[in-house]
Structure 1
Amino acid sequence: MAYIQFLGAAGTVTGSKHLINTGDLQVLVDCGLFQGLKQWRERNWQPLPIPANEIDAVILTHAHLDHSGWIPILVKQGFRGRIYASPATIDLCGILLPDSGHLQEASKRLLFTGDIGRVRDDQVSPGKVQYSGPRERESADILVMESTYGNRLHPTTDVRPELAKLISDTAARGGTVVIPAFAVERTQKLLFLLKELMEEKQIPKIPVHIDSPMAISAIQVFLKHSEEYTPRTRDLIARFGSPLQWDGFHFDQKQEDSRKLNDARYPMIIISSSGMVTGGRIVHHLIHRLSDPKNTVIFIGFQAPGTRGALIKAGAASIKMFGEDVRVRAQIAALEQFSDHADTPELLEWLSTFAQKPSETYLVHGEPAAASALRDAIAQKLGWKVNVAEWLQKVEIAE
């Protein structure tokens, strides 16, 4: 019997791993780390239900750690097969992993969406995943689809005025803007937006410190792969050139440069990772900045339950970092417009372009409430039968 088994991102957003067993071949679509609550993270130390050396290949939809970060563990457990990914994904994994699709078989066509990008994001082509995946007029027998924001409606307002006001107000009172940001993709997107706002005189030209060696390396990868640019990205590169050459933007590779920022008390912007404040240099910056009401912390990405980022965003009065309780007195803001995951209307819009509906659809990569809400929305609008995937569930795809 051929089947799909959901080994991760079922009941949660992280840990994407989906096993396809055809009887003759075992392929893992994505191989990601679980993040967030302890009950999820503990799964990173549990073996897969099949020996790693019996997996023939891994297909990566993209490079984010929740889709690729478990590869070193898989190799340690005995995996010796091939890993398939786009050239840009391979280069980004070369940065990410030290720290840490389609498949046709028989008569069945399977489609795994990976992360579905924003349909209306002017830096992402309509209906297209950032790295690989779904196109319009798709068809599939079995669809395995993300549901991160299956119960969300993203703000339709332009993020620029809100971001500009937060930065300008903070600078006017002599404070620092601290932005926890994912090292891959989100930081790069933010940099171009800040540059644009400065050139348009919507925010003051205060120093911008990118304190994330991983993000700096990712910039170099993005500059290398111009074949992946959208028209919007090509226009930004043509106007402003490489971010690594911009005046007033400081790329802090060395730890000593990072530590120097701790004593600096003038208006500036610090962008650092990890985006959920689970580790990295951002933790040190928040220890030194979170208790000062002059400062502002801006969240621009998903915060998994149980992470420091989620606690701060939810309004915690204090947060424990390195054994120390740090009072939260800085202004806290969250800009949901930055999300790279499509919301409910955008997901439905993409599904409506299918040439014909799949025989079966399974929702993964979402918290239970989000996946259930999206299931109901798809059934109501499109009349499809949709299932919310469960951890370790097997789905037969052929006799």
Structure 2
Amino acid sequence: MYLTDDEGAPTVTLRFLGAAGTVTGSKFLLETEGREQRRVLLDCGLFQGLKGLRLRNWEPPPFDPVTLDAVVLSHAHLDHSGALPLLVRGGFAGPIHCTPGTADLLEPLLLDSAHLQEEDAERANRHGYSRHQPALPLYTVEDARRVLALLRTHPYGTPFAPCEGLEVTFRRAGHILGSATVDVAWGRGDAARHLVYSGDLGRPGRPILRDPEAVPGADVLLLESTYGDRVHATWPEEKLARVITRTAHQGGAVVIPVFAVGRAQELLWTLHRLRGEQRLPHVPVFLDSPMAQDVTELYCRHPEDHDVDMRRLTEQARCPLCGSEHHWVRTAEESQALLARTGPRVILAGSGMATGGRVLHHLKHLLPDARNTVVLAGYQAAGTRGRALQDGAATVRIHGEDVPVRARVETVDGLSAHADREELLGWLRTFPRPPRETWLVHGEPGASEALARSIRERMGWRVRVARDGERVTLR
């Protein structure tokens, strides 16, 4: 049925169709050779960032979606899942395999992404600034709903067959809720071969989620390298406590732009812990993001992902994420009422780089007052308001107005959900033997090359940086 290598395992080819030379657009196509060729796509992500990358989302895929047997997802972030509606629009109707946590996250993330695509197209048509007449969304809410109907869930550690000849096992990656490493096996007995894809690997010792799990071994490894050239700062509890305490004593407010998935939940956990240890003054905490609230409820519903501390607290009915000390601001009217509030308070609101969302109303209201503080909790991309604030802008433009920046701006490092260089190397040391081949993906060229050097020099492994469009035979 299959062509085989010299040791009897079926021959499988791998194509890098995204996240090679860049950090987005994750797509890796596995194809078995032979009369009954099978095709499985690992991840199906959107390209994000620079315009040249984003334009690739509009190009026809380099394969016929109808010919795919299945898709296997590592996790729900849009750079790994956000092109699924395009795949379905192109004719794919097969199963999409993922963990239960990933399936739950995909609904709000994909529907929100599709809604924003439709809004962008409608706005372009209303104001006439698109070169296309009419402007069309990349995909629609209906396309996203069709994706959700194809999801098939599997628990960690339980093998399943996405198609004949391949077997897949998910293990915890510790990155976000439901995130998994993907172990793909083919062949039988001593001839079996394993490709392990790290997805986005999380960090050990983080709150809420369990640490990344070791794998039994791999013949071929696809390893992310997003932060392969650096070491993260330590968890920033002390700085957060210091900033909030100082601002509260001034009678001011702290506003923190947050991402709905991961970042919001970790900050809620940290504020709960600081309050429990009496390291914070008694100030109310507001979460002004309906999506972050929905995602937080999902985090609470998946104990299979919880670490020991999270499990112990929830068993005691003291959930650190949705406890009574956190005020959830749901409606637009409640958000507007929050603007009129005075006195010390902490406000978490989307979006994480201040590119849109409810946080803009809070920034517009709070930036002109020197008693207030803006906390930037993570990376701020060039061209965003968050980056402008981080770089010391005297004014930022919000809703067509130039808003003076008199509030203090603080950057809190150490909140990344990606493993850094040392954490990646630590995970590799759990392998019982070196893979025959290691391919680095999900990284800018500098980060990937730096990690490749570290792996060669410190571990002696054979490692290469993947090239976009490259096709290799896994022997």
> Of 375, 382, 386, which aligns to 2:459?
382
Instruction: Give yes or no for contact 1:192–1:236 (8 Å, CA) kept in 2.
Output: no
**How far off its partner does 1:180 sit?**
1.7
Listed one character per residue, the Cα deviations across residues 111-159 of structure 1 (whole Å, up to 9, x for unaligned) are 1101111123354444x1xxxxxx3253212111111211111223x52
Instruction: Give yes or no for contact 2:19–2:27 (8 Å, CA) kept in 1.
Output: yes
Cα distance, 1:20–1:290 mapped onto 2, change above 3 Å: farther
Listed one character per residue, the Cα deviations across residues 2-26 of structure 1 (whole Å, up to 9, x for unaligned) are 4222222222222222222224222
Question: Partner of 2:89 in structure 1?
Answer: 76
**How far off its partner does 1:386 sit?**
1.8
Question: Partner of 1:118 in structure 2?
Answer: 203
- 1:103 aligned onto 2:116: no
- 1:197 aligned onto 2:282: no
Write the mapping of 1:159-178 to structure 2, written as runs, cut at 5 A: 159-178=236-255
**Structure 1, 311-320 or 136-145: larger mean CA deviation:** 311-320
- 1:357 aligned onto 2:434: yes
Question: Partner of 1:25 in structure 2?
Answer: 38
Question: Partner of 2:299 in structure 1?
Answer: 222
Question: Partner of 1:144 in structure 2?
Answer: 222
The number of residue pairs the alignment matches comes to 390
How many Å separate the matches in 2 of 1:6 and 1:328?
44
TM-score by length of 1: 0.90
Listed one character per residue, the Cα deviations across residues 141-186 of structure 1 (whole Å, up to 9, x for unaligned) are 2111111211111223x52211101111112222221112221222
Cα distance, 1:284–1:21 mapped onto 2, change above 3 Å: farther
Listed one character per residue, the Cα deviations across residues 347-382 of structure 1 (whole Å, up to 9, x for unaligned) are 111111211111211112222221121111111101
Instruction: Give yes or no for contact 1:205–1:248 (8 Å, CA) kept in 2.
Output: no
Question: Partner of 1:296 in structure 2?
Answer: 373
Three-state SS of the structure 1 residue aligned to 2:268 is helix
Cα distance, 1:56–1:161 mapped onto 2, change above 3 Å: same
Amino acid corresponding to residue 86 of structure 1 in structure 2: T
Question: Partner of 1:92 in structure 2?
Answer: 105
**Structure 1, 168-177 or 38-47: larger mean CA deviation:** 38-47
Question: Partner of 2:408 in structure 1?
Answer: 331
- Aligned-residue Cα RMSD (Å) equals 2.3
Structure 1 unmatched ranges of 5 or more: 129-134
Cα distance, 1:326–1:9 mapped onto 2, change above 3 Å: farther
Write the mapping of 1:191-340 to structure 2, written as runs, cut at 5 A: 191-238=268-315, 241-242=318-319, 246-340=323-417
**How far off its partner does 1:61 sit?**
1.0
Instruction: Give yes or no for contact 1:52–1:78 (8 Å, CA) kept in 2.
Output: yes
How many Å separate the matches in 1 of 2:96 and 2:451?
31
Identity %: 46
Question: Partner of 1:155 in structure 2?
Answer: 233
Amino acid corresponding to residue 356 of structure 1 in structure 2: R
Structure 2 unmatched ranges of 5 or more: 1-10, 114-181
Question: Partner of 2:171 in structure 1?
Answer: none
Instruction: Give yes or no for contact 2:225–2:447 (8 Å, CA) kept in 1.
Output: yes
Three-state SS of the structure 1 residue aligned to 2:414 is helix
